[in-house]
Chains A and B, each alone.
Chain A
Amino acid sequence: MLEVRHLSKSFGDRVAVADVSFVAETGRTLGLLGPNGAGKSTIVNIIAGVLRPDRGEARVHGAAVDSDTSPAKRLVGFVPQDLALYEELSALDNLRLFGSLYGLAGAELDARAASALGVARLSDRARDRVETFSGGMKRRLNIAAALLHEPRVLLLDEPTVGVDPQSRNAIFDTLAELRSGGMTLIYTTHYMEEAERLCDRIVIIDHGRVLADDTLDGLYARLPAHARPVQQVVTVRPTLESVFLELTGHRLRDD
C-alpha cells in the first residue's frame, strides 16, 4: 500500500505540488491524471525518493521514503518518463547494473535479469546494445529495469509515450500481470483512454492540487446529470486502434 500525505513541493516561486494526499491499495492501479505541468511527475519523483518534499511524506507499506538510503526505496520500482537506460550498453548489462544498485548479485541477479528480459519480451535481444532498439523495445526495457528488485509498488511516469500500438498492448498486458501478482501500480498519463483501461482509481491533478480522487464510476457520478453516462442500445463503433491491430496483427515489431 502506498500512502501519500500532504505533499508539497515548490521550485523557487513555482508551486509544483500543494498539499496532495491519496492512498493506493495493494494490488490496485492508481492513475494520476492531469495536463502537462500539473505536478504528476513531481509527485512520482517524491514517492520514488528522487525529490525531497518541502512538506508531507510518502509511505510504502508503512515505511517512509525520507532519505537517499531509506529501506522503503527498495519497495519501490521507478519507471521514469525518459528512457533511463545506458544506450551504449546491452539490455542485459543495463539490467545487471540496475540490479546491482539494489544489492542483487551473482546467480540471483542473473536470474532476475533473465526474468525481466522475459517480461519485456526481449530475451532474444539481451546482448544487443540498447541504441539499436526501437522506441517500443526501449520502453519495455525501461519498465523491466524497474522490476529487477521485485518492488511492491511500481511507479510508471507516462510509460507509453512514443510507442506503437503493439508495444503499448504488450506493456498493458505486462502491467495487468504485475497487478494480478499483487503489485501496486501508480500510473501517470494524460491519455484518458489508458486511464480508463488500466486504473481502478483515479486522482485528477491540476496546478499541483488534487481535484478529484475516486473510482471511474465515482468520477462519472460527479458529473451533472445530463452529462453522465447513460445506458443506451447503440451500435458500438470499433476504435481505429482495433482496426489497426486487426490489420497489422498484435505481434511485436522489434526489427
Chain B
Amino acid sequence: MTHRLAAMRALVAADLQIFFRDRRSVILNLVTPLAIAGLFGMVFGGGGSAPAGRLAIAVVDQDGSAISRAVAAGLAAEKTLAVSSLDEPAARDLVLKGKVRAAVVLPPGFGEAAGRAFLRSTDRPRVAVLYDPSQAATLAMVQGLLTQHVFTAVTGELFSGDGGTRLIDESLASLDTQGTDAAVTADLRELLTRARSLNERNRSQGGAGTASGGGLSVPFEVGDEPVTSGSTPYNAYAHATAGMGVQFILMMGIEAGVGLLLLRRRGLWLRLKAAPLARGTLLTARVVSAALMSLVMLAVLYGGATLLLGVRVDGSLAGFLGIAVAFALTTAAFGLLIAALGGTPEATRGLAIFATLVMVLLGGGWVPSFLFPAWLQQASLALPTSWAIGGFEAMTWRGLGLAEALPTIGALLAFTTVFLVIAVWRFRWDVASR
C-alpha cells in the first residue's frame, strides 16, 4: 500500500511539475479564462452598476400627423431605446447592416386611419416593423412599446386633439348607416357625444390639443426588482467566470487525456506499465493530478475574479467548494474518457475541443440558456457543463445555500462515475508492438 501511494504521489507530482513548468500552458490555463470572463462579463452588463445598453431602433414617419408624431415622440422618450428618425430606404439599410435592431414604419394616413379604426373598427392601418432576424427577441419588445404608444397617441388625439372632434363627428354620422341594433346605436351615440364634449372641454382648457396628452394610458406601472442574494447586485462577471472557468478547465481535461495518448506514443506508457503497479494506480494517478490541476485553476480563476471583477461567493462556501471538487473530478474523468476513446492525439484533441465547446455553449456558458428552445434547455441538463455553470452561479451571485448545491454535486459525481466506468471499460491497456 505504501509503495502504491508513493508511486502515485510521484506520478502526480511529475504531472503537476510538467503542467506548471510550461509557462505558456500556465498562462493559457490560468490567465486566459479570467481575461475572457472579464470581457464576457463586461459585454453582458458588468458588475451591475453600469447602465444597460439602449436598443437602437429607427422610426420612419411617412404620415407626419399629430398621432404619428406623438408615437415617434413616445418611442424616443423610452429609456430603453435609442431612436433615430430616418426615411424608409435608410432605415432598411441600417437594419440590414445590423446598425439598428428594428425600424418602425408609420405609413401615410396612419394617424387618420388609426383614429378611425379605433372608433369604428374599420380597416386598420398596417405598421411595418423591419427587424434584424438575428435579433428576433427585439421584435416582441418593439411591438409591445409600439402598441402602448399608438394606443396613448390615438386616444389622446380623440379626447383632446384638434382632429378628434372631426373623427368623432364622422363616427356619429355613420352610426345610422351601420345597421346595428337600435339600443346599441343609442349607447354608442351617447358615448361618442360625451367623448366629443370631453375633447372640447380639454381643448378649451388649453393644456391639451395634441395627441400626446389627455388620452388613455396603460393602467399600471412596472416596478422592476432584480432578485439576487440580498444586498449584492447581479454581477455579469460571476456568470462569465463560471462559464469560462468550466470551459477552460474542460480544455485542460482534454490536454490531460491527450497527454495520456502522447505517453503511449512516446513509449512512456510501456515504461510505466513495466513497473510493478496495478492499472488502477496508474489511472488513479492521472485522475488525481488532473483533478488537482482543475482545482488550482478554479482557485486562481475565482481568486482573480474576486480581486479584479468583484465576484463573490455570496452563497454557501461549503457548497461552492463541493461543486468545485465534484467538477474537478468530472474533468479528470472526462480526460480519461478522451484517452480511452481517442485515436491519434491530434485527431482526439480536435474532436474533444469541438465537443467541449458545444457542451459549454449548450450549458449556457456563452449566452444565457433561456435563449434556447425549451426542449434544448431540458436536454442541456444531460450535460455536466449545465450543472457546473448553474452550480457556480447559484453559490456566487445567486447566494443560495448548501442544500441547493447538493443536487449539483450529486449530478457531477454521477457524470464522473459514468465517465470513469466507460473509460476503464474502453481503455486499451495493451499496445500492439511494432
Q: CB within 8 Å of B: which residues of A?
A: 11, 16, 36-37, 39, 41-42, 45, 48-52, 68-71, 73-74, 76, 78, 80-86, 88-89, 93, 96-98, 100-103, 105, 145
Contact = CB atoms under 8 A, between A and B. Distances in A.
Given A16-B433, A84-B266, A89-B21, 17 more contacts: A11-B432, A42-B433, A45-B431, A48-B274, A49-B273, A71-B276, A73-B275, A78-B270, A80-B271, A81-B267, A84-B267, A86-B14, A86-B18, A89-B17, A97-B11, A97-B14, A100-B10
Nearest to B267: A82
B5 to A, nearest CB: 10
Nearest to A78: B274
B181 interface: no
What are the 5 tightest A-B residue pairs by CB atom distance, in nearest-first order?
A82-B267, A100-B10, A101-B275, A84-B271, A42-B433
A82 B265 CA distance: 9
Nearest to A52: B430
Contact of A50 (B21, B266, B274): B274
Given A68-B278, A81-B267, A101 B14 contact: no
A103 B6 contact: yes
A161 to B, nearest CB: 12
B9 to A, nearest CB: 8
A119 B148 CA distance: 89
13 contacts: A36-B434, A49-B274, A49-B276, A50-B430, A50-B431, A76-B274, A82-B266, A82-B268, A82-B270, A86-B268, A89-B18, A100-B7, A103-B276
For the complex, would chain A's binding face be called helix, strand, loop or mixed by DSSP majority? loop
A80 B17 CA distance: 24
A93 B434 contact: no
Contact of A97 (B3, B10, B21, B267): B10
Nearest to A88: B18
B406 interface: no
B433 A101 contact: no
A52 B430 CA distance: 8
Nearest to A44: B433
Given A50-B273, A51-B430, A101 B267 contact: no
Nearest to A40: B433
A135 B271 CA distance: 18
Interface in B236-288: 266-268, 270-279
Contacts of A16: 432-433
A10 B381 CA distance: 44
A81 B434 CA distance: 10
A148 B408 CA distance: 47
Nearest to B266: A82
Nearest to B270: A80
Contacts of B270: 45, 48, 50, 78, 80, 82, 84
A101 B432 contact: no
Contacts of B224: none
A59 B165 CA distance: 112
A51 B269 CA distance: 12
Interface string B278-319: 110000000000000000000000000000000000000000
A69 B1 CA distance: 12
Given A68-B278, A84-B270, A101 B18 contact: no
A36 B278 CA distance: 31
B279 A85 contact: no
A101 B7 contact: yes
A89 B271 contact: no
A101 B268 contact: no
Contacts of A88: 17-18, 21-22
Contact of B276 (A70, A85, A93): A70
Contacts of B279: 68
Contacts of B430: 50-52
A82 B271 CA distance: 10
B1 to A, nearest CB: 11
A78 B275 CA distance: 9
Contacts of A52: 430
A107 to B, nearest CB: 14
A73 B276 contact: yes
Nearest to A96: B10
Nearest to B265: A82
Contacts of A82: 266-268, 270
B17 A93 contact: yes
Given A68-B277, A89-B14, A101 B21 contact: no
A89 B267 CA distance: 16
Interface in B144-203: none
Contact of A41 (B11, B14, B274, B434): B434
Contacts of A97: 10-11, 13-14
Interface string B413-434: 0000000000000000011111
A84 B269 CA distance: 8
A176 to B, nearest CB: 24
B152 to A, nearest CB: 71
A85 B268 contact: yes
